[in-house]
Structure 1
Amino acid sequence: MAPITWLDKLEEELNIDVDWMDPDFLVQMQPTIRFHDLTSNQNFVDIQMGHPSNVELLRDTAREVRDERNAAPDTQPQPHPLWLAIYTRMAVRMCKKVVDLIQGRVLLQTSPAQAYDTAATLAHARLYDAEFARVGIPRNRFCIKIPCTGPALLAARELQEEGIQTLGTALFGLPQAMACSQAGCLSISPYYNDVRAHADRSIWPEVHDPAVEHPNSARLVQILDLYRRQYAATGQRQPLVKNASFISREEAMAAGEMGCQSATLFNTLILDLAAQPYTDAARPGGAVAAQATLVKPAPETPFYQDRPAPSARLAPLLLIDPLHAADPTTVAASYDTVVATDYLADEAKNLAAAIAADPVVSDRLEAALTLFIECEKRSQDKIDKALASL
């Protein structure tokens, strides 16, 4: 028998989702793994939109949407700019090319430029919903990513009530996580690393044992424990934690030890994990970490049902917060305060205040939105060029 790899071991502990829209890569990996969900953002959509295999699809989509607009009565209002309507249909059509190559859902993100506009976020998510229906992808096979701002999560709550599943993304702290629970989100995507660290490794906290040494691990463990305790107290479904923004394979393994429901991994990191033979001794934390790792529940079992408290190795992280500038030896947001706060009341005023009060959350949220807006603009340029070529 061939030795198991780090990828094999991680798949035993959580669901591995792919952060890459290239169907050729999914086919390449089929003998090794069939991924659960396929996540994306404006960056990955833009990369795939520019792939040579999609040149004609983009031109056809641009022509089709333009002609539909031209044929519409002048009195019919257009809720979206032409480029955004083309972008949305194109993104969904690229999802159509990969949905049968994965087990679960394809995910697309609402416009980051509209992250502080509830009505615009709602409108874009509903447009995605209509385009998914157009290509025959049902609601149980897609999910809409919503940035974790107050206005956007108000939209998420309404979308959930309509039966459109959402994921809270660009999440960096406990108040955002609680707000996603209050909105009824299916999942959340906490970013393990600042998005800027992928381009600037000087700000990446490279550590040997990320589960206990990475400065963001405490917040992640606290979010998972928040949901575990909330489920035990209320019996109500809590968002699944899809940890994201990994740089090293050791960080991905930490997500398994901490008990995340899934890890969303870049194609390069997936290949790295698949190339590494696994032993407990080679894992950060060694056999102690391996033995403390939870086996993922069966798909039909509520995820937080019978989940134990964090292991002895991780329990100290419940009491500290290395990202808390005022005092890293204390938590930035306590469990009691978070669960007692309605973050979506009064137009999400409490969530806005909590984000503003935490420099890490406010800075990293702004950085993520800025990055995605830049990617969205690149896609708009591609669309404008496609229209000009018609």
Structure 2
Amino acid sequence: MNQLDQLKQFTTVVADTGNFKQLAQFAPQDATTNPSLILKAVQQPEYAPLLAETVAAHRGRALDEIVDEVLVRFGLEILKVVPGRVSTEVDARLSFDTAATVARAHRLIALYEAAGIARSRVLIKIASTWEGIEAARQLEKEGIHCNLTLLFAFCQAVACGDAGIQLISPFVGRIYDWYKKSAGAQWDEAAMAGANDPGVKSVSQIYTYYKKFGIATEVMGASFRNVGQINALSGCDLLTISPDLLAQLQGADAPVARALDAAAAKTAAIDEVHFDEAAFRWALNEDAMATEKLAEGIRAFAVDAGKLDRMILDLQAA
């Protein structure tokens, strides 16, 4: 049995891509997208017509409305392939605006529902800022489920659990990147692999905390750099994995053992904690890695959202 099939025995496997034509070969349960992945897809010849068709069908509408039509169009194609859910992201430029995030989420869900997709099959993806978590808290009360992304700090995970969020996406690879860059020549790749990887440790801590205290929020490890990180989190609720790494797992047959276990987490000697807004902002500020990677991630998604905007404007002008 290959490593991908072994992993599926312990963990729900999710494909991290906007490239829906690649999905079927890996048979993932769900799929996640983000502005960068959608931008990458529409720049490929096989997806360019889909973008052009969507823009043409909504010519004359506001730019942000057309962008949402494009995102949902990709989501609808993905849902033809996966049996579960798709994650569709709210514009990262709204990451510090609770009301605007809620409004955009309402529009995305309305587009999916108009296309005959139940809201249970959609996760609205929102950055794990205080404002984003508050928006998701409101949306969850309406039965609109959310995926809180760009999650790097324990305080972000705790706040999401307290807010009743459906799912969080802690970023393994970006945490690893930060610590590796920070260590420079002192970095020891072998010593910092597997369970010792700082990104793996972060997700393990969150998983253990949630299971210990009966928090229903799903933990979906994201942003992987290698299969070692993935296998070290076998047993996590979900793992969202790029097509390249899915292919590597499919091509390998070394044994994969369960690494995270809910029953074992129940016995962990840890205390329950909570964060109000002031405590959340302070805890995030105290974590240099999380502060830098959250800000960097929002900026990068905003840049790619801007590039998608320009592609749409160019198509409208043509």
TM-score normalised by the chain length of structure 1: 0.74
- Structure 1 contact 160–184 (Cα < 8 Å) conserved: yes
The residue that corresponds to 1:8 in the other structure is 5
- Structure 1 contact 224–260 (Cα < 8 Å) conserved: yes
CA distance change for structure 1 residues 205 and 152 in 2, over 3 Å: closer, same or farther?
A: farther
Q: How far did residue 209 of structure 1 move?
A: 6.8
**1:341 and 2:297 matched:** no
The residue that corresponds to 1:276 in the other structure is 252
Q: What pairs up with 1:301-340 in 2 under 5 angstroms?
A: 307-309=263-265, 336=271, 339-340=272-273
TM-score normalised by the chain length of structure 2: 0.90
**1:89 and 2:69 matched:** yes
Corresponding letter in the other structure for 1:134: A
- Structure 1 contact 19–264 (Cα < 8 Å) conserved: yes
- Structure 1 contact 209–250 (Cα < 8 Å) conserved: no
The residue that corresponds to 1:211 in the other structure is 194
Using the TM superposition, name which of 101-110 and 53-62 deviates more: 53-62
Corresponding letter in the other structure for 1:11: K
Corresponding letter in the other structure for 2:225: I
Give me the whole-angstrom Cα distance separating, in 2, the residues matched to 1:195 and 1:293: 19
Any idea what the Cα deviations from partners look like across 1:213-256, whole Å, max 9, x if unmatched?
2123332222111111221xxxxx52111001111111110110
Any idea what the Cα deviations from partners look like across 1:296-324, whole Å, max 9, x if unmatched?
xxxxxxxx6xx22289xxx8xx8xxxxxx
The residue that corresponds to 1:222 in the other structure is 205
Using the TM superposition, name which of 51-60 and 264-273 deviates more: 51-60
Give me the whole-angstrom Cα distance separating, in 1, the residues matched to 2:189 and 2:314: 41
Of structures 1 and 2, the larger Rg is shown by 1
- Structure 2 contact 85–121 (Cα < 8 Å) conserved: yes
- Structure 1 contact 147–168 (Cα < 8 Å) conserved: yes
Count of paired positions:
314
The residue that corresponds to 2:226 in the other structure is 248
Percent same amino acid at aligned positions?
A: 26
SS at match of 1:170: strand
Any idea what the Cα deviations from partners look like across 1:46-81, whole Å, max 9, x if unmatched?
1122232333332332233334x4xxxxxxxxxxxx
Q: How far did residue 294 of structure 1 move?
A: 5.8
Give me the whole-angstrom Cα distance separating, in 2, the residues matched to 1:208 and 1:17: 28
CA distance change for structure 1 residues 10 and 101 in 2, over 3 Å: closer, same or farther?
A: same
**1:98 and 2:78 matched:** yes
SS at match of 1:98: helix
Q: How far did residue 195 of structure 1 move?
A: 7.3
SS at match of 1:127: helix
Give me the whole-angstrom Cα distance separating, in 1, the residues matched to 2:130 and 2:181: 30
Q: How far did residue 155 of structure 1 move?
A: 0.4
**1:34 and 2:34 matched:** no
Unmatched 5+ stretches in structure 1: 70-81, 232-236, 284-289, 296-303, 319-334
SS at match of 1:382: helix
Q: How far did residue 143 of structure 1 move?
A: 0.4
**1:49 and 2:29 matched:** no
- Structure 2 contact 95–132 (Cα < 8 Å) conserved: yes
- Structure 1 contact 205–214 (Cα < 8 Å) conserved: no
CA distance change for structure 1 residues 44 and 205 in 2, over 3 Å: closer, same or farther?
A: farther
SS at match of 2:47: helix
Any idea what the Cα deviations from partners look like across 1:72-113, whole Å, max 9, x if unmatched?
xxxxxxxxxx22211111111111112121121010111111
CA distance change for structure 1 residues 278 and 209 in 2, over 3 Å: closer, same or farther?
A: farther
Corresponding letter in the other structure for 1:53: E
Give me the whole-angstrom Cα distance separating, in 2, the residues matched to 1:371 and 1:141: 27
CA distance change for structure 1 residues 132 and 195 in 2, over 3 Å: closer, same or farther?
A: farther
- Structure 1 contact 167–185 (Cα < 8 Å) conserved: yes
CA distance change for structure 1 residues 349 and 387 in 2, over 3 Å: closer, same or farther?
A: farther
Q: How far did residue 188 of structure 1 move?
A: 0.5
The residue that corresponds to 1:354 in the other structure is 283
CA distance change for structure 1 residues 145 and 206 in 2, over 3 Å: closer, same or farther?
A: farther
Any idea what the Cα deviations from partners look like across 1:18-50, whole Å, max 9, x if unmatched?
0012232123x1xxx421110111111111222
- Superposition CA RMSD, Å: 2.5
SS at match of 2:84: coil
Q: How far did residue 153 of structure 1 move?
A: 0.8
CA distance change for structure 1 residues 153 and 353 in 2, over 3 Å: closer, same or farther?
A: same
SS at match of 1:255: coil
Using the TM superposition, name which of 202-211 and 52-61 deviates more: 202-211
The residue that corresponds to 1:375 in the other structure is 304
CA distance change for structure 1 residues 132 and 208 in 2, over 3 Å: closer, same or farther?
A: farther
Q: How far did residue 377 of structure 1 move?
A: 1.3
SS at match of 1:101: coil
Any idea what the Cα deviations from partners look like across 1:274-315, whole Å, max 9, x if unmatched?
111223xxx6xxxxxx3x5468xxxxxxxx6xx22289xxx8
- Structure 1 contact 50–382 (Cα < 8 Å) conserved: no
Unmatched 5+ stretches in structure 2: none
CA distance change for structure 1 residues 119 and 161 in 2, over 3 Å: closer, same or farther?
A: same
Corresponding letter in the other structure for 1:385: D
